[in-house]
Amino acid sequence: MKGLVFHGPGDIRCESVPDPSPKDARGAIVQVERSAICGSDLHLYHGAMPVEEGFTLGHEFVGRVVEVGSAVHSVRPGDPVMVSGVIGCGECPACQRGEVVRCARQQTRVFGVGQGLEGGQAEAVAVPVADHAIRRIPEGISAEQAVLLTDILPTGFLGAKMADIQPGDTLAVIGLGPVGLLAVMCAQLFGPAEILAIDSVPERLAVAEELGAHAVPADQADAVVMEQSGGQGVDAVIEAVGADATILKALQLARAGGNVSIIGVSNSAVAPFPMILPFMKDLTIRSSLVPVPALWPALVPLVAHGRLHPERVFTDHMALSEGALAYRRFDAREDGILKVLLDPSK
């Protein structure tokens, strides 16, 4: 079959790879129908996260079950399914609740980043612990929407949830890539009076306005936040970049007693962090990789009932065979590109 394979920084190729085979009785094979490129895939693309050469990338994908092991009982061949981009052992109490990041056996893994799980930017994927990782796509949810349910919509929702937004609050969201924009969309579920959406890219600011936020160019962030909050800082901040400077900015923009929610992935093993700032300001800081299946019970009905339209973030539809180009364009942020949906049948 075909897959997007890592050959070194900046070098992704669509080429033939071995067909997947089920891991064991609890595993399944999913034929991929749609897959996406995530901002965090660019860390691999840049060589910032080491991955072995020849590895197939991608952790956001949906498709159809083609084969299940003997112990799988929740899905059957032919079922249209979505696969959690992050999985755990699938059996411990935390995994049973879908909280895969708290897996008691510490088997939290992501597809397509080199932890033994080949990825979904391919024609098919072997999925272990299928009853845990796979969910039938319910009525009323499109494949395009389902792809977003496998990682970045839950991540945006987690960002909003960890920000502990109360009705009437003023919120800042730093970074309006696809995850930041979905954080804006999900934050609206918590009834804020105002969302200050901060970025330096005009196209992204425009999408945030469309989602009901007040767009704030990054270079005006301090002034606007202080003005809109009467000099207090905002009730909550969602950080969706992961850079040292934006994490520090999040601490600064929050009011005393506020919440800081960090969903941006930090590359900096040892970031400078002024611990005296949270101490003097009584801050609560939450950060986490996303426990995808734990958030499905909330998000699936919201998408199915038309309360959330995450598909708004897809700007580009390309064939899997154009994968190398897709990475290049996404990395260069060409033409206001926000997120690419890949079709393996093309």
Q: Is 227:176 a contact under the CB 8 Å cutoff?
A: no
Kindly state whether residue 99 participates in binding its own copies, applying the rule CB under 8 A: yes
Interface with its own copies includes 117 (CB under 8 A)? no
The interface with its own copies within residues 257-276 (CB under 8 A) comprises 257, 262, 265-276
Give the footprint of its own copies on residues 76-95 (CB under 8 A): 93-94
Is 226 a binding residue for its own copies by CB under 8 A? The answer is no
Q: What are the residues whose beta carbons fall under 8 Å from the beta carbon of 76, sequence distance 6 or more?
A: 65, 68
Q: Is 193 in the site for its own copies (CB under 8 A)?
A: yes
Residue list 146-165, contact with its own copies (CB under 8 A): 157, 161
CB of 33 to its own copies, least distance (A): 25
Dmax (CA) of the chain: 62
Rounded to whole angstroms, the Cα distance separating 310 from 30 reads 23
The smaller minimum CB distance to its own copies, of residues 276 and 332, is found at: 276
Q: Token digits for 71?
A: 């112990």
Element (H, E) at 323: helix 323-331
Output 54 or 93, the one with its CB closest to its own copies.
93
Among 191, 140, 180, CA closest to 299: 140
Taking the complex as a whole, the smallest distance from the CB of residue 200 to its own copies amounts, in Å, to 22
- Told to check if 47 binds its own copies by CB under 8 A, we report no
Residue from the set 166, 252, 315, 321 that interacts with its own copies by CB under 8 A? 166
Residue 296, C-beta contacts closer than 8 angstroms, at least 6 positions apart: 98, 135, 149, 154
Judged by CB under 8 A, does residue 43 bind its own copies?
no
* Total residues at interface with its own copies (CB under 8 A): 66
- Sequence length of the chain is 346
Least distance in angstroms from the C-beta of 279 to its own copies: 5
Q: What are phi and psi of 66, to 5 degrees?
A: -115, -20
